[in-house]
Amino acid sequence: MAKESGIGMSIAVDDSSGSARTISNDITDFSLNTPRNLQVVTGLDKSAEERLQLLADFTCTLNGVFDDASNVAHAVFATVPSSSVARTVTITVSGQSLPNETFFNDYALTRAASGELTWSAPGTLSGGTVPTWA
């Protein structure tokens, strides 16, 4: 295996009707997390923490530049405040993909003093399926 950059990544997000839209061109940066919950179960007889590994999770935050053309970022996220649907988010890099059913809980627009108009959309796992790279 060779080390690689994130150049050439692809991100697709379902719009509110369930159609996957590749919005990579509108995304400037993103973060994703695949944490596991932990329960501390340390008994009185221990001198260090003892834990059980619990449920898996997925969160992401997508950030980008405003684009209101058809079937791109604004069209995908504009319905976040008015629809309660899970959306498939598929992150792909170097032939590896991480698809997750995700609820987006905000579509925030920011107009900076310099004039740039950007957006941010945070999402969390919705479907109960363990996040798995394939």
User: What are the extents of the domains in the chain?
Assistant: 10-125
6-53 pLDDT, tens digit per residue, is 888 999 999 999 999 999 999 999 999 999 999 999 999 999 999 999
Is the Cβ–Cβ distance between 87 and 14 less than 8 Å?
yes
Q: Given phi > 0 = left and psi -120 to 50 = alpha, else beta, which region is 30?
A: beta
Q: Given phi > 0 = left and psi -120 to 50 = alpha, else beta, which region is 129?
A: beta
The percent of residues above 90 in pLDDT, for the chain, comes to 93
Question: For residue 69, what pLDDT is reported?
Answer: 95
Q: What are phi and psi of 86, to 5 degrees?
A: -75, 145
pTM score, whole prediction: 0.91
Q: Distance between CA 75 and CA 37 in Å, rounded?
A: 34
CATH 2.40.30, domain 10-125, yes or no: yes
Q: What pLDDT band is residue 1 in, cutting at 50, 70 and 90?
A: low
